[in-house]
Amino acid sequence: MHFFYFNSRIGKYIFFAVAIILVGTSLLVSNNLVKKLELEERNKMEIWAAATSELASGDSESNFDLILTIIQSNTTIPIIVIDNNEIIQYSNITINTTDTAHYLVKKLEAMQKNGSAIDIDLGNGEKQTLYYEDSVLLKQLSYFPYIQLLVMTLFALIAYIGLVSVKRAEQNKVWVGLSKETAHQLGTPISSLMAWVELLKTNDNIDTSIVADMNKDVKRLSTIAERFSKIGSIPDKELIYINELIEDSCNYMSTRISSRVKLNLHLPQDAVGTMACQSLIEWVIENLCKNAVDAMGGEGEINVTLSSDSKHIYIDVSDTGKGIARKDFDNIFKPGYTTKKRGWGLGLTLAKRIVEEYHKGHIYVKESEIGIGTTIRIELHKTA
């Protein structure tokens, strides 16, 4: 099952890698296009400057019609021409103020900072300077890669959220179907076992202690079936006292785990209450204790500590096992994740579902250190 979880995680990495490659390729192509357009506009301005220089020379052999056509062909690139630091010509600049001179000076300063300048040789040692900036179209294209990045990022995010939602919905259907079918299948043999226990009680030749133990196990099976039947539906909640619940759950577990595991309870004297489904919260506590036993290899110490503040109840289950790597703090609650050779990796997933979806609480790894142990905390809402 760990293999399938690993493949799922690799699939996510591949999805993001492909998305990054697509975005990177798109940005590269767009940036190359913008650079080519910048070079083309530079060439146009150099031709424009050469035409202006030719016109100023007054050469009779020059084709003035062609020169004028070249000069007048610039209808998109904003330009300002200065002579001895005085603005003598401007074109393709939209002025939205009555103070034209001041606006042009500010515009010239901006163009000078960009460094887009070409000298115009008028002959006889006279020169003018042409300043220009990117056309509106080029500016829009320069913004396009960032807009494209934003759109593709949003698309990838929406696609990922959609895939996760579909996957989660499918998982929920599997949980509900599996749980209710399990409860249904357990119902018939449990009813039969109950009848046999009642029959054995009437037999004087059978040790009553054996019958009592059998009755406990049958009731336990009924509790398990009830728990499974509540998965997928909103469980009925009632006021329960966590002190008693933890004590009953741990007493049950202590008789069914290795004698080499020491189970310690640290409970306050005052009763701590919450609105919850008792059988499901018991399931979570028992599941955490079982995982702790597995993490310690059947030998060590488990400490279950109950504390609270004005709004919340905190249940800490600590073990002295092999610990959990920090990168797996969240992964252990995902379906299919397990480090055991045998197992489906569903116990902690169900625990998370019970605590967070059914009881609006929180369950997480509070702390863990490799080779020392792990503490998992459950947070529930406190009832005054």
- In tens, the pLDDT along 43-87 reads 988 888 888 888 777 664 557 777 778 888 888 888 889 888 888
* Domain positions in the chain: 2-134, 140-216, 236-381
What is the structure's pLDDT at 332?
86
Beta bridge partners of 121: 127
Question: What CATH number belongs to 236-381?
Answer: 3.30.565.10
Nearest Cα residue to 278 out of 359, 346, 352? 359
* pLDDT band with cut points at 50, 70 and 90 for residue 1: very low
**Is a pLDDT exceeding 90 seen at residue 365?**
yes
* pLDDT band with cut points at 50, 70 and 90 for residue 368: very high
Q: Tokens 């900072």 identify what position?
A: 113
CA angle (346, 348, 350) in 5-degree steps = 65
Cα–Cα dist 52/31, whole Å? 31
3-state secondary structure the chain: CHHHHHHHHHHHHHHHHHHHHHHHHHHHHHHHHHHHHHHHHHHHHHHHHHHHHHHHHCCCCCCHHHHHHHHHCCCCCCEEEEECCEEEEEECCCCCCCCHHHHHHHHHHHHHHHCCEEEEEEECCEEEEEEECCCHHHHHHHHHHHHHHHHHHHHHHHHHHHHHHHHHHHHHHHHHHHHHHHHHHHHHHHHHHHHHHHHHHCCCCCCHHHHHHHHHHHHHHHHHHHHHHHCCCCCCCEEEEHHHHHHHHHHHHHCCCCCCEEEEEECCCCCCEEEECHHHHHHHHHHHHHHHHHHCCCCEEEEEEEEECCCEEEEEEEECCCCCCHHHCCHHHCCCCCCCCCCCCCHHHHHHHHHHHHCCCEEEEEEEECCCEEEEEEEEECEC
What is the structure's pLDDT at 150?
85
Cα–Cα dist 40/32, whole Å? 12
Nearest Cα residue to 317 out of 270, 279, 253, 365? 365
- In tens, the pLDDT along 231-259 reads 766 678 899 999 999 998 888 888 878 88
Residues 6+ apart with CB under 8 A from 104: 80, 87, 90, 93, 95
What is the structure's pLDDT at 340?
63
What is the structure's pLDDT at 300?
92
Q: What is the mean pLDDT of residues 206-219?
A: 82
**Is a pLDDT exceeding 60 seen at residue 6?**
no
Beta bridge partners of 117: 131
Greater confidence, 129 or 152?
A: 129
What is the structure's pLDDT at 65?
76
